[in-house]
Amino acid sequence: MLSMYHDSDIANFLEYGFPLSCEGSCSGLSEEKNHAGARSHPDDMRKYLKKECTYGSIIGPFFSNPFNTDMVISPLNSVPKKDTLDRRVILDLSFGVDGEDSVNSHISKDLYLGNPIKVSYPSVDSLVELIRRKGSGSLCFKRDLKRAYRQIPICPGDWHLVGFSWENHIFFDRVLSMGLRSAAYICQRVTNAVSFILDAHYDLQIVNYLDDLAGCDVQEKAFDAYAILGEVLDNCGLEESVEKAAPPSTSMVFLGILFDTVSCTLSITKDRLEEILYLVKSWLQKERCSLRDLQSLLGKLHFVSSCVRPGRLFVSRLLVWLRTFGGQNITKRVPKYIKLDLVWWSKFLDIYNGVSMMFLIDWSSPDCVLSSFLRFNFDWLWRYL
């Protein structure tokens, strides 16, 4: 099914494991030094190790290095999962002084096995375009890979790079680690192959964002398309999360946004808007911030901007400022022009109802262009540009 696919290595990688593309030697911990998020939740960590052993996703426990090459031990951490009492376990493969000499520091952001990374990630606009082609009232559906990265195998030659220690025992990941720099690229590459199969063999187009795969079709074809997507995942040996599947419907949540093909709207929940507004207002009181703080803020604002196109203008300068940070541990004073952009966000989020229209009609070129000044909440918009 992939004989005509441009990515000729994907089938072998799925069968035998993906190399991590780690170049050079890196050092790890000389003793067990897990983060507080792991140490303070021992029961959750033991539960995680038992589950991963059951899936065959890790090897161990060992008391010493089982390989004939140096092993790399990285610290464990855990963070709470949304809407559940479970915790997400992360292997901190960026651990080190500014991440130097960590596994991730030896993995290029631009190259994989020496070849340029050309993968791109779809957006909310990608599904809107698919809905536009199928028409108002079409049915959306989606399926989700179970355990995301944790069912995609690692090449055995790289297992020694993803070691961790718990209660004086050593373990190694056999599947992509949560916290691995190349994991997102590899996962997207896998679901891109699924997308190719559906398009080439079934004339079925989907939008695949990492482990989420969404589609849309006219009412007469949508249920068959939904079934085909499930069959292709099964034939590829990819296990789906049945409880997260969404059968064909005129409304569906994808990438955190509610799509409605009848009203042709995109919606963000009130709780999510209030959460983001609180964050923005807290930033207006900040004098300094770290790179991690700024990345978190940008993630939230990008989310809103996926529905609100004008918001993208007020994210652009934040992105430019982001590029001036030299490392995770560096803090910088928040410039006045950044705060002015955040003032716009705070005013906008205070009155925004969370609903935006999809643009499903191709607009023709205008006969003429009219322009005017725009006032927003009693302030001239140009003051915040």
pLDDT digits (tens, 9 = 90+) for 320-346: 999 998 777 789 999 999 999 999 999
pTM of the model: 0.86
Q: Where residue 202 sits, what CATH number does that domain have? A: 3.30.70.270
Residue 300 lies in a domain: yes
Task: Using the 3D structure, point to which of 248, 266, 284 is the last residue of a domain.
Answer: 266
pLDDT at 384: 40
Q: Are residues 95 and 42 in the same domain?
A: yes
Q: Which residues form the domain of 380?
A: 268-357+370-384
- Structural domain count of the chain: 3
pLDDT at 330: 83
Residue 130 lies in a domain: yes
Residue 134 lies in a domain: yes
Q: Are residues 166 and 208 in the same domain?
A: no
pLDDT at 367: 61
Q: Are residues 304 and 374 in the same domain?
A: yes
- Which range among 61-65, 272-276, 380-384 shows the weakest confidence by mean pLDDT? 380-384
Q: Are residues 377 and 277 in the same domain?
A: yes
pLDDT at 380: 46
Q: Are residues 228 and 308 in the same domain?
A: no
Q: Are residues 194 and 82 in the same domain?
A: no
User: What's the 3-state SS for the chain?
Assistant: CCCCCCCCCHHHHHHHCECCCECCCCCCCCCCCCCHHHHCCHHHHHHHHHHHHHHCCEEEEECCCCCCCCCCECCEEEEECCCCCCEEEEECCCCCHHHCCCCHHHECCCEECCEECCCCCCCHHHHHHHHHHHCCCCEEEEEEECCHHHHCEECHHHHHHCEEEECCEEEEECECCCCCCCHHHHHHHHHHHHHHHHHHHHCCCEEEECCEEEEEECCCCHHHHHHHHHHHHHHCCCCECHHHCEEEECEEEECCEEEECCCCEEECCHHHHHHHHHHHHHHCCCCEEEHHHHHHHHHHHHHHHCCCHHHHHHHHHHHHHHCCCCCCCCEEECCHHHHHHHHHHHHHHHHCCCEEECCCCCCCCCCCCCCCCCEECCEEHHHHC
User: Over 80: is that where the pLDDT of 27 sits?
Assistant: no
Q: Are residues 317 and 238 in the same domain?
A: no
Q: Are residues 71 and 58 in the same domain?
A: yes
Q: Are residues 58 and 204 in the same domain?
A: no
Residue 362 lies in a domain: no
Residue 3 lies in a domain: no
